Amino acid sequence: MKLYMQVLIALGLGLKRNWHIFLGLVLGVIAGIFLHQYPHPVVMMAFTFIGQLFIRLIQMVVIPLVISAIVIGITSIGDSKQLGKLGTKMVFYYAIITVVAVIIGAVLALVFKPGLGAAAYINSDVATGIQAQVATTIEAQKGNLLNIILGFIPKNPLASITSGDMVPIIVFAVIFSVALARVGEINRPFVSFFESVFAATMKITDWIMCFAAPGVFALTAVAVSAFGIDIFMSISKYLGVLALGFGIQLFVVYPVFLKIFSKVPVWMLYAAIAEAMMVAFGTASSSATLPLTIACCEKRGISHKVTSFVIPLGATLNMDGTALLQVVAVIFLAQAYGVALTPFIIVQIAFLAIIASSTSAGIPGAGLITIALVLNGMGLSPEQLIAGFAFLFAIERITDMMRTLVNVTSDAVVAAAIADNENEINYDLLNNPNDYNDVIN
């Protein structure tokens, strides 16, 4: 066989799936830049189709997976005291990470001032094409916090399941599982049923992941083709500040967090969850990535007890990347329109971003709807708001891809830290990249 054929076969078959997906990502960026220059409707249609096919396949398993994971996780913890301890620790860890994210966002935006002089390229002309989204966002601004909290409690759990509302589904699953744990042995048939559901959904996830490389390639190509690289030139400062903030979260905050609260080696953890990180980037959805985040963590030694409880909740409530973006975006708009930023307003922005981000669903674009809450009371005129949203929407997808990667990584970081604290991590597996657990056992 010719040498180049051997190399090609080795590239195709020998490499790990991580690298296939990474290759998909890089080629997707190149194809997207090319498509922006030379648009081709048929190619675009084909790429959109492949990307959507991949997303729908993973979304298909999310609800059965979340419910079964929570049922098994909570009933296996059993004793409500331990559950309370785990829950409190989880909220504490997620809170630390999100508070640090908003501080970093605020400091970077105030130091680099990406919004100064930006009003020139924020104009309401762009707003015409995206009226629907702008209207939704303005509408969301009217919803107050109490209504948002009420919405977390499902009036009808089955209706929440059919409409895919993750937070009410999780709230119901958690309450139901705690009750199941309390009723004792009689819960066995029900729990066994969900053990089978979990095993089957994990198996399906494994099959779907064979399709991850082309899926991520297509999604990235379509996303990049929408704006090409010229957009990066005009708003490079804004994107630069965001990328720097996300980079600090990934390469400084999480490693320091893991050092302080656990003995988890951060690089081993990142290697373990690399597939989930790339799929998060490609799909811009924490919920869609959830099956994979759980699979990656469990394969490399983090116990099911911890992942099944901490990761689904994290994928829905822990959105530190989104919070960071919301702070930077709002300060950016304030700077662009010359709104005076007093220390009080900055603290208010940071505080509202923490709440708004955690009410964002783990789906593409959610963070740009809830940002309305943060913009409340900033004193921007309706025209400025519309033009501001239009600007943020125009570059939404790329910033969504970045923040989702951060959101998903922090879910796994917190799960790993808790697993370490509770002695629920198998370090032999985590430290040995060539070895892994079968999740279904």
Site stretch for ligand ASP (CB under 6 A), options 194-202, 245-253, 257-265, 403-411: 403-411
Q: What is the DSSP letter of 155?
A: S
Distance in angstroms (rounded) separating the CA atoms of residues 110 and 81 = 44
Q: Name beta bridge partners: 302.
A: 425
Which of the stretches 38-46, 88-96, 133-141, 399-407 binds ligand ASP when contact is defined by CB under 6 A? 399-407
Binds ligand ASP (CB under 6 A): choice among 384, 407, 409, 421: 407
Quick note: the x/- pattern for ligand ASP over 257-296, rule CB under 6 A, is: ---------------------------xxx----------
Q: Is 360 in the site for ligand ASP (CB under 6 A)?
A: yes
Q: Closer CB to ligand ASP, residue 32 or residue 367? A: 367
CB 250 within 8 A of CB 402: no
Q: Which residue, 98 or 286, has its beta carbon nearer to ligand ASP?
A: 286
**Binder of ligand ASP out of 404, 409, 410, 421 (CB under 6 A):** 404
CB within 8 Å of 328: residues ≥ 6 apart: 105, 108, 109, 114, 238, 241, 242, 245
Total residues contacting ligand ASP (rule CB under 6 A)?
Answer: 16
Residue 354 in the binding site for ligand ASP (CB under 6 A): no
Chain residues 193-222 in contact with ligand ASP, contact rule CB under 6 A: none
Which residue carries 């708003």 as its tokens? 235
Which residue is at the shortest CB distance from ligand ASP? 367
d(CA 219, CA 274): 18
At 91, give phi and psi (nearest 5°): -60, -40
194 vs 254, beta carbon nearer ligand ASP: 254
Identify the three-state secondary structure at position 425.
Answer: strand
- Calculate the CA dihedral of residues 242, 248, 253, 255 and round it to 10 degrees: 130
Tokens linked to 441: 């056992």
Q: Tell me whether residue 35 or residue 363 sits nearer to ligand ASP (CB atom).
A: 363
The answer to the question of residue 397 lying near ligand ASP (CB under 6 A) is no
Asked if 366 interacts with ligand ASP (CB under 6 A), we say yes
Is residue 367 at the binding interface for ligand ASP, with CB under 6 A as the rule?
yes
| Cα gap 177→234, rounded to integer Å | 51
Are the beta carbons of 321 and 249 closer than 8 angstroms? yes
- Judged by the rule CB under 6 A, the positions of this chain that interact with ligand ASP are 284-286, 319, 322, 360, 362-367, 400, 403-404, 407
